[in-house]
């Protein structure tokens, strides 16, 4: 019903998928206050591929955690698909993460004793998807990342790049509105990193909105937009022609 209204309402279609205004996060460390994020305002539209860059301590990871509903801001607003999320309960945030946000991390975070298929199907268990549908959708997600033939393999039987592709399939299996990737190539060699970025570009061409945190300019060049953070502030918002990952 909500999706039908969004499709028939041009204003809803044009609204940003992610809209943050004056987003602020501070941490107490003993007597000191760390200004992790200070008054960040930015909008990300559906179908964008955005890289988030900055040195260590710049606020990029805090920004990612707030977008992923893994943390709460001290001030400001965050709307995901038009819904204000800052005031949601912990249970509501967990449900929102499961249904609307896919996560890809540097360390893969796969269950070592489970097959690729079982790892990909795991988010659907929490979403109460039936067993038969879980297997069908998990196989489709593995096919989307080129690993349907490895569905029965465990992580130790897969290369680093294959493990990351399983992690990406797991992030996609609930058809999220937003895919968040935190240093997804950090544990990979250069050639494998380019393969993963090529996969992200293919997914983005299918309409998936991607926000990727990286400290590597060589990775950021594959995105169509780059947000630069420093000292908790958004210092630059640049649109670029993405380089095609071979």
**In the prediction, which pLDDT does 13 show?**
54
Environment class of 35 (CB within 10 Å of its CB; exposed 0-12, middle 13-18, buried 19+):
middle
User: Is residue 74 in some structural domain?
Assistant: no
pLDDT of residue 129: 82
Looking at the chain, which runs of residues are DSSP E strands?
Answer: 18-29, 32-44, 49-53, 75-80, 83-84, 101-105, 178-182, 209-213, 225-230, 233-239
Q: How far is residue 146's CA from residue 169's CA, in Å, rounded to a whole number?
A: 10
Interior angle at CA 59, CA 199 and CA 47, nearest 5: 35
Q: What is the CATH number of the domain that holds 223?
A: 3.40.50.300
Domain count, the chain: 1
Domain that holds residue 185: 48-69+89-239
Q: Is 174 part of a structural domain of the chain? A: yes
Q: Is residue 2 part of a domain?
A: no
pLDDT number for residue 29 = 84
CB 120, CB 148: distance < 8 Å:
no
* Whole-number pLDDT of residue 105: 92
Residue 82, in any domain of the structure: no
pLDDT value for 152: 97
Tokens representing residue 223 in the block: 């995105």
> Does residue 146 fall inside a structural domain?
yes
Asked if residues 62 and 37 have their Cβ atoms less than 8 Å apart, the reply is yes
Q: What is the pLDDT of residue 2?
A: 44
- For residue 144, what are its two tokens? 């989307």
Sheet holding 18-29, edge to edge: 32-44, 18-29, 75-80, 83-84
8 A C-beta contact, residue 111 and residue 154: no
13 domain residue, yes or no: no
pTM of the model: 0.89
Rounded Cα distance between 162 and 2, Å, is 36
What does each of the 246 residues of the chain score in pLDDT, given as a tens digit? 444 434 445 444 578 999 999 999 998 888 888 899 999 999 999 999 999 999 988 999 999 999 999 999 999 999 999 999 978 899 999 889 988 999 999 999 999 999 999 999 998 987 778 888 999 999 999 999 999 999 999 999 999 999 999 999 999 999 999 999 999 999 899 999 999 999 999 999 999 999 999 999 999 999 999 999 999 999 999 999 999 997
Tell whether 21 is covered by a domain: no
Q: Is residue 23 part of a domain?
A: no
């Amino acid at each position: 019903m909500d999706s039908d209204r969004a499709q028939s309402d041009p204003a809803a279609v044009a609204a940003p998928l992610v809209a943050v205004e004056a987003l602020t996060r501070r941490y107490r460390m003993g007597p000191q206050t760390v200004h992790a994020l200070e008054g960040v305002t930015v909008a990300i539209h559906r179908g964008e591929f955005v890289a988030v860059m900055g040195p260590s301590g710049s606020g990029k990871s805090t920004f990612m955690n707030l977008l992923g509903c893994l943390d709460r801001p001290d001030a400001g607003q965050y709307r995901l698909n038009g819904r204000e999320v800052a005031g949601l309960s912990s249970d509501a945030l967990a449900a929102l993460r499961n249904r609307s946000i896919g996560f890809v991390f540097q360390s893969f975070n796969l269950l070592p004793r489970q097959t690729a298929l079982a790892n990909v199907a795991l988010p659907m268990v929490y979403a109460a998807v039936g067993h038969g549908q879980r297997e069908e959708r998990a196989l489709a997600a593995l096919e989307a990342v080129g690993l349907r033939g490895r569905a029965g393999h465990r992580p130790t039987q897969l290369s680093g790049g294959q493990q990351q592709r399983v992690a990406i399939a797991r992030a996609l299996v609930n058809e999220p509105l937003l895919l968040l990737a935190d240093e997804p190539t950090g544990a990979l060699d250069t050639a494998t990193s380019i393969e993963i970025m090529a996969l992200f570009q293919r997914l983005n061409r299918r309409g998936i909105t991607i926000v990727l945190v990286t400290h590597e300019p060589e990775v950021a060049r594959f995105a169509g937009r780059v947000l630069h953070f420093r000292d908790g502030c958004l210092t630059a918002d640049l649109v670029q022609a993405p380089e095609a990952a071979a």
